Amino acid sequence: MALAGTGDRRAFETLALLLNYREPARALTAARALARLGDPRTARTAAALATNPLRVAYAVQPIRLLVELRAPESVPALIETLDRLLAEEALGWDAVPACVEGLGELGDARAVTVLRAACAHPRLRTAARAALTRIGYQEAGEDGGVPRT
């Protein structure tokens, strides 16, 4: 991790592997180091890890890193992951609330449809509504369910 602190891009591959590690503390440390490293490959790598259906159990740190980076890949990757997990009804993964919260933080209107779908799930309803509010979306009945401008 010391190489990342100095901006040494030789650390990228090792950090990318650790980002998807089983041990949450190591994945968190890798995410922080990757954010500091500033390598242009980071967002693309985090998006690939976040959307990998075989690694969803370890997707929380890549999801959070995407939110922090606010890269062009961030919103599409979180939408894809959340949409897939909702369709599979795989709500037991920590990745689900991380996606909901992250999409709210990113505040992109492209997430409205998937966040509205998340509102149908009792465990996600409060967080999904909060995310929609952050985006500027109002529920139908208030203004017909259109984004505020």
Mind listing the pLDDT tens digit for each residue in 103-122? 999 999 999 999 999 999 99
At 132 the three-state DSSP class reads helix
pLDDT band, residue 93 (cuts 50/70/90):
confident
Q: Are 50 and 77 in contact (CB under 8 A)?
A: yes
At 20 the three-state DSSP class reads coil
Mind listing the pLDDT tens digit for each residue in 32-58? 999 999 899 999 999 999 999 999 999
pTM (2 d.p.): 0.87
Give residue 43's pLDDT.
97
Cα 106 to Cα 78, 111, 131, 134, 139: the distances in Å are 10, 9, 9, 9, 19
